[in-house]
Structure 1
């Protein structure tokens, strides 16, 4: 038997993370929490994924917000 991963991001794609965040916060709420132009100016999943895949610091912020959202939702 394998033990389940304790990594909250295990098995979750960046696209799914972004979809969950947009569904919960909408683009305006996401832009308020993470100051990234691709969330403010004509936002889309595709353009945001392109930026986040090339920009580690921004991806870390998005992943951290997702983890906080998941921990809050599981309480």
Structure 2
């Protein structure tokens, strides 16, 4: 499996479109706490969730095919 999520190139405003609330996130102290940054973080979180769903699908597929014990899964979280 090769994926590019959550790298840049994600859809602007996708977090808000997906129903996320920018008031419910914590903005890291090294970023300005402004609406644009909050929206961007929501977009990023949406991409992470998409990646997580894809990974779960792959793991389920491996399990259903009896290949979990024959597979090495590496997730680079850099």
State the TM-score, normalized to the length of structure 1: 0.35
Greater fraction of residues in helix: 1
State the TM-score, normalized to the length of structure 2: 0.34
